[in-house]
Amino acid sequence: MSECKSIGHDGKISAMTQKDGAGKKLELRAKQKSARASRSYDPELAALFNVHLAELCLANGATRVACYLPFGDEPDTELFLDWALENDVEVLLPVSKSDGNLDWVVFDGTTRPGLFGFHEAAGPAVKPLNVDLAFVPALAVSESGIRLGKGKGFYDRALPTFEPIPPVIAIVYADELIEEVPNEEHDHPVDAVITERGITHFNERLK
């Protein structure tokens, strides 16, 4: 059985000054990237992530989700993508654009090299409408639901374009759920985080 817990907060997350927040983010991002680079691939962790992702979909009756294809040392979502395709859960995957935004493609199992050289979903772009859950990558997540991304801002810009905005769930390793992540006004908080140990909720949007 997976671990499931909640960490409460009052919904008010104070932003640091832009200069302080950006500087501290750079330091933390470098630290997290270094730690990730030392990891070896573990198929057992991939299986655990799949279980927790599928559990959250089933618990919330999700039939249309957004997710991502893992690259490098990111938590592996490929088993979950296979599960979704086999269980009639439609998956939208991001395609990076040169203007810093994301298109979304319904994943049918086919990929092609994207803007940054790694594989992305192939197919026509669709609008991210009526998505039940959005699973996003992260380098770290704080106990108040602040996500640390890779610094390009793709997801902070993309998530507000969803109609309506779905619950957002970050996927990280257990030791990347940390006490604090510097935040700025443009940062989009997450509603929950999934690690290999289970699901942590930050509010009441998810079952």
Q: What percent of the chain has pLDDT over 90?
A: 81
157-166 tens-digit pLDDT: 999 999 999 9
Domain boundaries 13-201, CATH class: alpha beta
113-137 tens-digit pLDDT: 998 888 999 999 999 999 999 999 9
- Confidence band for 6, pLDDT divided at 50, 70 and 90: low
Rounded CA-CA distance 154/187 in Å is 11
Q: Which contacts qualify for 148-152: CB closer than 8 Å, 24 or more apart?
A: 148/25, 148/28, 148/29, 148/32, 148/181, 148/182, 150/29, 151/25, 151/26, 151/29, 152/100
Rounded CA-CA distance 33/180 in Å is 16
Query: 3-state DSSP call for residue 79?
Result: helix
| pLDDT score at 16 | 47
Average pLDDT over residues 139-158: 94
Task: Indicate whether 59 pLDDT > 70.
Answer: yes
Average pLDDT over residues 14-37: 81
Neighbours of 55 (CB within 10 A): 16
Lowest mean pLDDT among 9-18, 101-110, 170-179, 198-207: 9-18
Q: What percent of the chain has pLDDT over 70?
A: 90
| pLDDT score at 156 | 92
Task: Indicate whether 169 pLDDT > 80.
Answer: yes
93-108 tens-digit pLDDT: 999 999 999 999 999 9
| pLDDT score at 50 | 97
